[in-house]
């Protein structure tokens, strides 16, 4: 019996000396190396440092997804410019309507930097809009959508250097008729009068009397007026050639009864180009002429230099009323501008039309702004007036038929 017990102990020790472990109790959770893993013979090695925290996949890949949709090669670069945030003119937007966005920049500006907005669209593509501000049109489907602002530089070919960026998530809601923007109680109409000079008009829909309008022009200046219209000039001495800066204008209308109403808009300013800098394109526009079927037509010819490559995107038509109000409509450029001949490099020969309903008697002038960008992403803008009505000598009267003779 003793001999059998010694034999069992010897077999057990022999198995352990060969490196195999006896079966473990079920509650033991200590990790064991796999059979193919070598067991160190010396002291245990120090534990490796904990892994760095991983960026969530949607945030880590959003920039790469946009670059792939734009057929670009993204290169992240260190920079002194900072995107401090993005202002929006409303907390949410109805499906199919527009939201105004404006980037707030800090740090030291980068010479030659390009500002742009990019976002994914249905079908795996992406849209791009140059400049520090954006009138973003919401899709017809409600949901949450991401729009990214970038400060970039051209590295040649398809390589784009990203100096700074900031992303905003927009809440798009399905709205009823009373929630549409045209039924908002307070809006701001913006009209530029000159270099850095703007006129702001409060557009109020309500029955309560407004006691005062409190304006904040976004540059440290404020004003309080009893009238809904105010003018302001921004100091542009520190703006470089063609440098663009956006100011956020806030309005508070104080009612005689009830809480105040608030609205927001953006004023976009631009430094003057040096006198010896040639324009990016050559623009020729004929004076509008009446059409037999009604309305007016203006011929438009845009010529681009051979070394350029201009991509046009949208056309903004601003309707200026006699009372100082302004309405803005943004549409894809080929929906408004009829191209008859392509001239290469983004140049074309075509025309725009103005319908009789667009030039109703309360309209003083129409302004067209054609927006695009060159191969480096730099914004290109040309503008003209497709219609202007001469100032009436007297207020329009309603003509009535004389009474019948008796």
Please give the full DSSP string across 251-284, using - where no structure is assigned.
Answer: EEEEESSSPPEEEEEEEEEEPPPPTTPPPSSEEE
* Predicted pLDDT of residue 377: 76
Which pLDDT tens digit goes with each residue over 161-170?
999 999 999 9
Would you say residue 235 has pLDDT above 70? yes
* Predicted pLDDT of residue 352: 95
Per the prediction, the chain carries an average pLDDT of 78
Distance CA 198, CA 274 (A): 23
Give the lowest-confidence range in 3-12, 96-105, 347-356: 3-12
Distance CA 215, CA 218 (A): 9
Contact 185, 206 (CB under 8 A): yes
Give the lowest-confidence range in 155-164, 181-190, 316-325: 316-325
Higher pLDDT, 133 or 47: 133
Higher pLDDT, 78 or 48: 78
Contact 248, 281 (CB under 8 A): no
Q: Residues 294-323: what's their mean pLDDT? A: 87
Q: In whole angstroms, how large is the CA radius of gyration of the chain? A: 33
- Residue positions counted in the chain: 406
Cβ-in-10-Å burial (0-12, 13-18, 19+) of 305 comes to middle
Per the confidence metrics, is the pTM higher than 0.85? no
* Predicted pLDDT of residue 231: 92
Distance CA 372, CA 98 (A): 19
**Encoding tokens for residue 182?**
């045209």
Higher pLDDT, 46 or 93: 93
Higher pLDDT, 20 or 281: 281
- Ramachandran bin of 60, using left for φ above 0, alpha for ψ from -120 to 50, beta for the remaining angles: alpha
Distance CA 360, CA 296 (A): 12
Q: Residues 249-273: what's their mean pLDDT? A: 85
Residues forming beta bridges with residue 88, ordered by sequence position: 101
Distance CA 350, CA 252 (A): 44
DSSP state of 112: T
Which pLDDT tens digit goes with each residue over 199-225?
899 988 888 889 999 999 999 999 999
Higher pLDDT, 256 or 20: 256
Query: Shortest CA distance to 159 belongs to which of 74, 101, 230?
Result: 74
Higher pLDDT, 13 or 65: 65
Cβ-in-10-Å burial (0-12, 13-18, 19+) of 312 comes to buried
Distance CA 202, CA 53 (A): 49
At 258, give phi and psi (nearest 5°): 95, 175
What is the pLDDT confidence band of residue 141, given thresholds at 50, 70 and 90?
Answer: very high
Would you say residue 119 has pLDDT above 90? yes
* Predicted pLDDT of residue 378: 77
């Amino acid at each position: 019996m003793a001999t059998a017990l010694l034999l069992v102990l010897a077999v057990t020790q022999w198995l352990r000396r060969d490196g195999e472990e006896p079966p473990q109790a079920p509650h033991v959770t200590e990790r064991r190396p796999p059979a193919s893993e070598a067991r160190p013979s010396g002291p245990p090695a120090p534990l490796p440092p904990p892994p760095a925290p991983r960026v969530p996949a949607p945030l880590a890949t959003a920039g790469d997804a946009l670059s792939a949709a734009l057929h670009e090669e993204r290169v992240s670069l260190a920079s002194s410019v900072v995107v401090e945030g993005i202002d929006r003119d409303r907390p949410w937007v109805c499906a199919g309507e527009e939201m105004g966005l404006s980037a707030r920049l800090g740090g030291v500006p980068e010479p030659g930097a390009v500002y742009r907005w990019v976002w994914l669209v249905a079908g795996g593509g992406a849209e791009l809009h140059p400049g520090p501000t954006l009138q973003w049109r919401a899709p017809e489907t409600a949901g949450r959508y991401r729009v990214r602002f970038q400060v970039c530089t051209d590295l040649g070919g398809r390589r784009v250097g990203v100096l700074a960026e900031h992303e905003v998530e927009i809440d798009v809601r399905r709205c009823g008729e009373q929630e549409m923007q045209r039924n908002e109680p307070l809006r701001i109409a913006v009209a530029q009068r000159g270099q850095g000079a703007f006129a702001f008009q409060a557009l109020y829909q309500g029955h309560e009397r407004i006691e005062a309008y409190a304006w904040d022009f976004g540059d440290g200046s404020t004003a309080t007026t009893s009238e809904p219209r105010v003018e302001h000039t921004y100091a542009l001495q520190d703006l470089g050639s063609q440098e663009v800066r956006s100011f956020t204008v806030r309005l508070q209308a104080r009612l005689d009864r009830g809480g105040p109403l608030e609205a927001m808009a953006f004023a976009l300013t631009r430094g003057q180009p040096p006198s010896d800098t040639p324009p990016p394109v050559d623009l020729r526009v004929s004076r509008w002429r009446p059409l037999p079927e009604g309305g007016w037509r203006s011929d438009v010819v845009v010529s681009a230099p051979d070394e350029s490559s201009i991509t046009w995107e949208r056309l903004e038509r601003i309707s200026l009323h006699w009372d100082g109000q302004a309405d803005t409509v943004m549409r894809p450029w080929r929906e408004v501008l009829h191209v008859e001949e392509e001239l290469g490099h983004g140049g074309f020969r075509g025309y725009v039309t103005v319908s009789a309903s667009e030039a109703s008697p309360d309209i003083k002038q129409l302004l067209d702004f054609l927006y695009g960008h060159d191969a480096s992403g730099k914004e290109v803008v040309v503008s003209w007036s497709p219609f202007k009505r001469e100032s009436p000598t007297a207020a329009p009267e309603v003509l009535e038929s004389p009474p019948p003779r008796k």
